[in-house]
Homo-oligomer: A and B are copies of this chain.
Amino acid sequence: MPVVTLQVLGTLSDEQKRELSRRFTEDLREVAGKPPEYTYVIIHEVERTNWAHKGVLFSDK
């Protein structure tokens, strides 16, 4: 019954989203026996003005 939430800086291509979702879901099946029909993967693409590291926005780096 897993929900995987991926927060990522910037954008991903549809192909990257497709492949990551497939792998995360498969990882959960293989490692923890979670059936794919219960697994959700939700992706949040975060703009560089909305994410900071070391106190500095990525848009300022």
Contacts and interface: CB of A to CB of B under 8 A. Distances in A.
How many of chain A's residues touch chain B, expressed as a range? 35 or more
B27 A54 contact: no
Contacts of A20: 27-28, 31-32
How many copies of the shown chain assemble into the complex?
A: 6
Contact of A21 (B1, B18, B34, B52): B52
Contact of A41 (B23, B31, B51): B51
Contacts of A46: 42-43
A55 B22 contact: yes
Given A1-B8, A7-B42, A20-B31, 5 more contacts: A2-B6, A16-B31, A18-B57, A23-B23, A40-B40
